[in-house]
Amino acid sequence: MPSLGSSGSLGSSGNIALPKQAYSTGVATLKGLPSQYCGASTVTAGRNAVVAKTGERYQEALNRIPPPGAGCHGALLGAANMGVIAGLTDGQIHDDIRRSIPHGDRRVSDREIQDAIVKARREITPGTIGTTYRPAPRPAPRPLIDGDATRRKLIQAGDGATNADLWELSPFRPDYEPGYQDALAVLSLYNADEHLYIGTQYDTTVKPVPVWREEIGRRLVATWPHIMPNPVDGVAHNIGTDKPSFRCDAAVCSFRYAVVEFDNLSKPDQFAFWYSVITKKLLDVAVLLDSGGKSIHAWVRVNLPDRAAWDREIGARFYGEAGVFTTMGADRACRNPSRLSRLAGHYRAEKSNWQTLLYLNRGTP
C-alpha cells in the first residue's frame, strides 16, 4: 500500500531475537524474585522486603494477563514493565509471559511478546534493589514526515477542488439524490458472509450484511447514523464489564479500513487534501463521505492481516505520537480498529444535513 511516509511503504521492522541463554527459575512466585536477587546474607531485611514486593507485583501482572482478544495486548506491556523493574533478563520475562497467557481467540506470537519487552526496556530504567523505579524519560519521537508542510502542499496542490471534483474521480458515481441508496452503495464493499455493526454510538447489535441490506432496502431510509467499517465476527467478547461486547476491538475479524478524519480543517481544505491524495495515488482511498457536519470521513483500505499488524502500521505509523496522520492534524481517536464512521445516506437531523457519499472505490472485498 502506498504511504505518505518517506520510507515508501507501510513496512514492518526487522525481527528481534531473544538472547541465547538458559533459564531455570520459572515464573517468580509470591515469595519474591529468583534466589540470585534475595539469597545473599548481606541483603538487609528492608531490602528483602522490597525484593519480595517487586516479585509480588510482577506475579500479579502475570496473573492479570487476560485471554487474547480481551485486552491481552496491553497487559503484555504491563507484565514486561514489572519484569524489567525486577531486574530479570529478556528471556526470563518472555518465558514467564508465555506461560501466563490464557487460551483465547488467537495465539499470541513470540514477536508480540518481544515487542512488549523491547518497549519496556526503552521506557523503564532498572536501578539497584531497594530504590524506587521510575520510567526513563522518553525522548520526543522523530516525526515520520513534516506533517504541517505535507498537509499544506497537498491542500495547495488540490486548491479549488469541490465535492463535484471528488464525484468525478469516483469509480462509482451516485446519480441520485442523497438518501438510503448511499448506504446500500457502501454495503457493496462487503461479502454476504460478513457481519457489520450499524447503529448509534450506544447500540450493540451486529447483523449479517444481507440483513442490513434487506432492512435498509425495505425501509427506504438509512435509520442509523453510524457504521463500523471493519467487519466483526458476530461473537460476544468479554471486555471487563458486566456486558460482553459484539463491537469492541476484539470483535474485529478483518482489519480492512482505517478511518481518517480532520476536525480542524475547513471543508474546502478537506476537499483539496483528499483530491490530491487520490490523484497522486498516495493512499488507497475506498470511501469519502460528508459527515453532515464539519468533517469528511475517509476510509483508507489497508487490508492488514491481524491486530499486531494494525497496532504497528495504524496505531503507530499512522496515529502514533509522531505518526503520519497525527502530525498532519488528523483525529487520533481513529486509531483503533473498531472506530465508528458516519453512515452515508443517513439524514442528520440535528445538523439538518445528509451524510453524503462523495467517493466510492470498491476495489476487492
Would you state the pLDDT for residue 6? 39
Output the pLDDT for position 125: 61
Q: Answer whether residue 129 is part of any domain.
A: yes
Residues 78 and 188 in one domain: no
Q: Which of 105, 139, 173 is the last residue of a domain?
A: 139
Same domain for 204 and 94, yes or no, is no
User: Domain check: are 130 and 37 in the same one?
Assistant: yes
Whether 213 maps to a domain, the answer reads: yes
Residue 268's pLDDT is 97
Are residues 176 and 88 located together in one domain of the fold?
no
Cα–Cα distance for residue pair 317/333, rounded to 1 Å: 14
Confidence (pTM): 0.65
Q: Do both 28 and 69 map to the same domain?
A: yes
In a domain, 70, yes or no: yes
- Is residue 234 domain-resident? yes
Q: Is residue 355 within 8 Å of residue 223, measured between CB atoms?
A: no
Please tell me whether residues 330 and 181 are part of one structural domain. yes
Packing angle, helices 180-187 and 209-219, rounded to 10? 160
Per-residue pLDDT at 37: 36
Residues 115 and 254 in one domain: no
**62 and 111 assigned to the same domain:** yes
Among 94, 116, 139, the domain-final residue is 139
The residue range of the domain holding 106 is: 1-139
Residue 365 covered by a domain: no
Residue 64 lies in a domain: yes
Mark whether 159 and 132 lie in a shared domain.
Answer: no
- List per-block mean pLDDT (blocks of 10 residues) for the chain, which spans 365 residues: 42 31 29 36 47 76 84 85 86 89 81 88 62 59 88 97 96 92 97 97 94 97 97 91 89 98 96 98 97 97 96 94 94 95 97 97 77
How many domains is the chain partitioned into structurally? 2
Q: Same domain, yes or no, for 226 and 323?
A: yes
Residues 95 and 198 placed together within one structural domain of the fold: no
Q: Among 243, 239, 251, which residue's Cα sits nearest to residue 66?
A: 239
User: Of 89, 113, 139, which one is at a domain's C-terminal end?
Assistant: 139
Same domain, 217 and 307: yes
Evaluate whether residue 60 is within a structural domain: yes
Name the residue with cell 527459575: 25
pLDDT at 35: 38
